[in-house]
Structure 1
């Protein structure tokens, strides 16, 4: 599968993408745990069907020490016993934040309150930005048909 467009190669859009990617990198420095960030990024990408981002986040999480079992179970996290209550709250938040058209309201008050039990305001802000950023990245990759399978852990993303 070949990509439809190399959006980075276009001068105006390439510059904008570089700014967006820099913003995404800033999220890694927040107080939201790195493991949670990768799980959320993977789940959003699974929901959206973004092969490039699924590839990247599985490999990055594994390289950072995440177990293959937990990575395989992210798609069925509700039925899995390997996630903490905080991670489960973040994954539920990610699902509702990604499926805004389905829910008709975005993240429900109940899901927000559950996430707020586990994360402080700074971490919640990072979670909101991460879910939003991943949906943006997924959509750009899906529209331009960016393939998955070639990411090398440790590459800039």
Structure 2
């Protein structure tokens, strides 16, 4: 597959704004390893090869194990994730597939059990942002290096 265009060169101001938002979201108090799991799961759902490669690599750098990384796609069927991580992964799936799920009350209730109000907003921002990056990368065929 060939890259369609370089979005960084084509629309640098917009991409700089997204990068600035990414920097801000990464500092909002959600633990870095959990942010990477969320980014990885959304990227898997969206079929973003660039982002799956990037965020699995970033997760490893933050101490994530191969076993858990390999299990992210089947997190519901494994004992490897904490209740907080499970709530975040469920919320990630619900929001990434929002046209089908409509952000179910059950997923939100589980989220509320494990995250403060501020953390719920911040996690939702992180999920929304990775979905933006996924859509840009898939649309313009950004490839892993």
In the superposition, the TM-score normalised over structure 1's length comes to 0.89
Q: Which residue of 1 aligns with 2:7?
A: 7
**Number of matched pairs:** 145
Instruction: Please give the residue correspondences for 1:36-115 in structure 2 after superposition, counting only pairs within 5 Å.
Output: 36-103=34-101, 105=102, 107-115=103-111
CA offsets, 1:39-63, max 9 Å, x none?
0000000000001100110001101
- What is the alpha-carbon distance in structure 2 between the residues aligned to residue 112 and residue 60 of structure 1? 27
Unmatched runs of 5 consecutive residues or more in structure 1: 151-157
CA offsets, 1:56-79, max 9 Å, x none?
100011011111111110000000
Q: Which residue of 2 aligns with 1:20?
A: 18
Displacement of 1:2 in angstroms is 2.7
- What is the alpha-carbon distance in structure 2 between the residues aligned to residue 116 and residue 33 of structure 1? 17
Structure with a larger share of its residues in helix: 2
Unmatched runs of 5 consecutive residues or more in structure 2: none
CA RMSD of aligned residues (A): 0.9
- What is the alpha-carbon distance in structure 1 between the residues aligned to residue 61 and residue 128 of structure 2? 24
- What is the alpha-carbon distance in structure 1 between the residues aligned to residue 58 and residue 70 of structure 2? 14
